[in-house]
Structure 1
Amino acid sequence: MNSRIPTRQVPAPGAGADAVRPLREFAMAFTSSPRGARLARRLVSHRLDTWGHPYGGRANDALTLITAELTANAVRHGHVPGRDFHVRLAHGTDALRIEVSDTRTERVPVPCDREPPGDAESGRGLLVVAELATRWAVAPREGAPGKTVWAELALA
């Protein structure tokens, strides 16, 4: 990766919340654990395949990796004991959108355009999301405490 990758974050909270008008939608709550994150990733990949974005295709691979990063962050940084995280996948005419919501409000990801030092074991997940997504952002969670991190992938 480059040492400076611009984030494609939309600064206004909730901006683009209706950018993907869903033709199809999948939503589910998952246990806030590594197993829940793995299941979310697999179900998103499977749903994309059934919607015509096959395994190994650009859209499926990119959105599955984005989902893996966002759900891992929800488990690692957004975990509140006894609370699940939620995933919503929307398929619009021009884009796919993934939303991962957790109940932790005080740990909002900070956009960064620099890689962590070469020996750091973490800190690159949102750089991956920024590189793969057309746009992404963090917004307050609607209807519940917490935050939602979302990413969109334009369909070419």
Structure 2
Amino acid sequence: TQAVYEEPFVVLMPIGHPLEQAEVIDSATLAQQDLLLLGPGHCFRDQVLRFCPECNRLSVTSGNMQKTLEGSSLETIRLMVATGVGVTVLPYTSVSGYAHASDLLSIRPFADPAPTRIVALAWRKSFPRQRVITLLGEAIRACPLGEAVRTL
């Protein structure tokens, strides 16, 4: 494998959501929200739940029920958030440069220590074109991935 970059997770919410008042979001605050996640079996869902295991629930807190709803793709979830169904956690690269939705969506970073993930290339040992892997890694690193992304 070849690590390419590390990116933080961010919280996406509809404009006007109460969380918009916060500069940063912590996992305890996230656990109190109606949360939209990818369905079981998606690696990003697993990464979010490792950071915020209490989000893997239907729980009752102070008489209010917080729900975890599922979507089939990050784009579907983004659209569900825009309609006010709840909030979600997304990788930074999936929201950076997404200015055309700025009138519907708001983004907040996590409080430190913020959750991150490492994106890597993986290939079979028997793959005959190692140079292609090197070039692909270099091409991805050359892309403008956003100020919060650390290339590796």
**TM band (smaller chain):** under 0.3
Bigger CA radius of gyration = 2
Query: Normalising by structure 2, what TM-score?
Result: 0.26
Q: Which has the higher strand share?
A: 2
Query: Normalising by structure 1, what TM-score?
Result: 0.25
